[in-house]
Amino acid sequence: MSKVLLEAQDLHLSFRGVKALVGVSFSVSEGDLFAVIGPNGAGKTSLLNVLSGLYKPQRGRVSFLGEDLATLSPQERVRRGLGRTFQNLELFRGMTVLDNVKLGAELAVGTYTDLLPKASVEWRIRRHAEEVLDYLHLSPYRHAPAGALPYGLQKRVEVARALAGRPKLLLLDEPMAGLSLEEKQDLARFLLDARREWGVTLVLVEHDLKAVLELSTRVMVMSYGEVLYQGEPAGVREDRRVAEAYLGRSA
């Protein structure tokens, strides 16, 4: 069996009486592409915010590689290997694409270079960032301000910055939102390659049901903060509660 990387147990989160998460439990194993789907307001982004440390649940536990994350800040979680992208772009728009990705690369390279000369560290960071840009076909834009790129390329830059941190597990919050069909296909290919070639385990929050069913190894469906379904992608369409809450029909 694959090693469990991430485990959530009985997560509860509410805001002024509005329940965002209600007893959410699941685990993600090494090599998974674990998809989280559901209608607007289902609690998907709130869940990622709890996992990444932006929100603190009123009840429940999150562990990563067996370590309880309760006392760890978002930055400390990233250093442990838990990466994150955001639904709304969080790029430094005035900085170049290369400099944005170098910020992620510093997390991966800097950990092992405390005793090296500064020039050597900077060279390693840049080399790693350039490798990621080349991998995601972003090298031609390396010196362009990130904010000047088309939206689809900005989305790819954010994924590049997250991958540059060499995460063991990457949380992706609707990375395909607002992309054309061709851009979605390109990003899907990059993510699958990263999973296969770099060993990155993925948790994908996404609205595109077709993409989810094609890409994922396991699926969790949420509605109003609760888990309706967990299991194989093929079972999503057959589940009655999912059909009513997410697909808008009776099974």
Q: Could you write out the DSSP letters of every residue in 104-163?
A: HHHHHHHTT-TTS-HHHHHHHHHHHHHHHHHHTT-GGGTTSBGGGS-HHHHHHHHHHHHH
Does 86 fall in a domain? no
Mean pLDDT across the chain: 89
Q: Is residue 130 part of a domain?
A: yes
Considering its fold, how many domains does the chain have in total?
2
Tokens of 197: 């070639």
Which of 28, 24, 230, 36 lies closest to 239, judged by CA? 230
Alpha carbon 147 to chain centroid, angstroms: 21
d(CA 53, CA 72): 7
Domain boundary among 166, 198, 214: 166
**What pLDDT score does 17 carry?**
84
87 neighbors 174 (Cβ within 8 angstroms): yes
* DSSP tag of 2: P
- 183-216 residue pLDDT tens: 999 999 999 999 998 899 999 998 888 888 889 9
- In this structure, the answer to whether residues 155 and 171 fall within a common structural domain is no
25: Cβ contacts below 8 Å, ≥ 6 apart: 8, 9, 10, 11, 60, 227
Domain that holds residue 231: 1-81+167-251
Instruction: Tell me the C-alpha distance between 33 and 54, whole Å.
Output: 22
d(C-alpha 250, C-alpha 236), whole Å? 13
**CA atoms of 216 and 213, how far apart (whole Å):** 6
**Residue closest to 2 by CA, chosen among 217, 216, 230, 198:** 217
Q: Are residues 211 and 147 in the same domain?
A: no
- Quick check: helix, strand or coil at residue 251? coil
Tell me how far apart the alpha carbons of residues 68 and 18 are, in angstroms, rounded to a whole number.
Answer: 26
State which residues of the chain have pLDDT below 50. Answer: 250-251
Could you say which of 142, 166, 190 is where a domain stops? 166
Strands (E), 3-54: 4-15, 18-29, 33-37
- Cβ neighbours around 246 below 10 Å, total: 22
Helices and strands (DSSP H and E) totals, the chain: 8, 10
The answer to whether the CB of 38 falls within 8 A of the CB of 222 is: yes
Same-domain check for residues 111 and 55:
no
Q: Which domain-ending residue is among 143, 166, 189?
A: 166
Structure tokens at 136: 């995601």
Per-residue model confidence (pLDDT) at position 207: 83
Q: What does each C-alpha distance from 95 to 54, 88, 109, 157 come to in angstroms?
A: 24, 17, 20, 12
User: pTM here?
Assistant: 0.89
Residues 76 and 182 in one domain: yes
pLDDT at 224: 92
Map residue 229 onto helix, strand or coil: strand
Looking at the structure, tell me whether residues 178 and 218 fall in a common domain.
yes
Clarify whether residues 37 and 48 are in a common domain: yes
111, 160: one domain: yes
Report the DSSP beta bridge partners of residue 28. Answer: 6
- Domain membership flag for residue 8: yes
